Structure 1
Amino acid sequence: MDIFIRQERPEEYNSTEEMIKEAFSHEEYSDKKEHLLVHNIRKSNAFIPELSLVAINQNHDVAGHILLSKITIVEHDKVADSLALAPVSVAPPFQHKGIGSQLIRAALQKAEELGYHSVIVLGHKDYYPKFGFKKAALWNIKPPFEVPDEVFMALELTEHSLRNVQGVVRYSKAFSE
């Protein structure tokens, strides 16, 4: 499928949010509020416009979206900057065609180009490892809530960037609004 991935434009925010809502409408493990998360992150200081990417189809419609936003990993007085991958969305007619994978690869590459060193994701244990994600527990990085180790993962964009990082992930307030 021919798609083009680029930075999301402000005039697309509403249509992107509608697509995200539709993308998660039948997902079993969804609270059906992912579109609100994206909306709230955009209004926060965690938002990085260059890491809000859309997949555009031949009809110039938004077929998918991914967002990486600022987070920190905190242990006592040590704070390390990182990114959260959340969410990645593909419109139902375009699902299972590799668009989500293309969005993830493009976002990770862009994050690396912008100088970010790591990414955290809460996601499917069999999906994200193909992009290099590993259990965050390997670095003694913990979620701020109870989840199984195998679904809370980290990726070093820069080799050994998490070597001296450990602690609890702190998401922006947008994640709890």
Structure 2
Amino acid sequence: MLIRTEAPADILPIDTLLKSVFETEAEAKLVMKLRENGQRTLSLVACSDEGEVVGHLFFSPVTRDGVDENWQGLAPLAVKAEYQRQGIGQALMEEAKQTLLELGYPVVVVLGHSDYYPKVGFVKAADHGLACQWPVPEEAFMVLELAEGTLAGKTGTIEYSSEFAEL
């Protein structure tokens, strides 16, 4: 299994993967629009030994109360059905955590499954006084502090880029 940064040749395989994993094409359209609009901070793929893209995750900027602090939103994370439950998503996240921290991005938020994301270090954002811009279940909106101490005293509403409003 190889984990690497997205290359131009990966765009269509990523699109196909996202359309196969999610119930609608919304995530695939979102990633394409974020990419086209320059809102991609980090996009990683996991490739099989044969070179097939079998996993993908994508990060884009978020703000806290309208202020850009280099925080990132994870959306989406996808692994091809027959490759799920093999640790690929967690391996993608571990690589992403290290890369984002090295690039100076101290915090990541995610709106996702509360039974999955804590496995890679996410905690409820509400425990840190952070809320999502949309009305979502409290346990589904989570935060991960990459640079220790960054969340101290930081509260407010996390806002995603405008491309998410079209979902």
TM-score, with length taken from structure 1: 0.88
**Of residues 104, 122, 129 in structure 1, which corresponds to 2:93?**
104
In 1, the alpha carbon distance for the partners of 2:55 and 2:146 equals 23
CA RMSD of aligned residues (A): 1.4
**How many residues matched?**
166
Deviates more, 1:89-98 or 1:58-67: 89-98
Where does 1:1-177 land on structure 2 (aligned, <5 Å)?
3-25=1-23, 31-48=24-41, 51-74=42-65, 79-177=68-166
In 2, the alpha carbon distance for the partners of 1:107 and 1:45 equals 19
- Please give the secondary structure, in 2, of the residue aligned with 1:47: coil
Equivalent residue letter for 1:104: M
Q: How much identity, in percent, do the aligned residues show?
A: 39
| Displacement of 1:74 | 0.9
Structure 2 unmatched runs, 5+: none
TM-score, with length taken from structure 2: 0.93
In 1, the alpha carbon distance for the partners of 2:62 and 2:36 equals 15
In 2, the alpha carbon distance for the partners of 1:138 and 1:81 equals 21
Contact 1:80/1:165 (<8 A) preserved: no
- Please give the secondary structure, in 2, of the residue aligned with 1:102: helix
Contact 2:57/2:78 (<8 A) preserved: yes
Runs of 4+ in 1 over 2 A off after TM superposition: 78-81
Equivalent residue letter for 2:113: H
| Displacement of 1:92 | 1.5
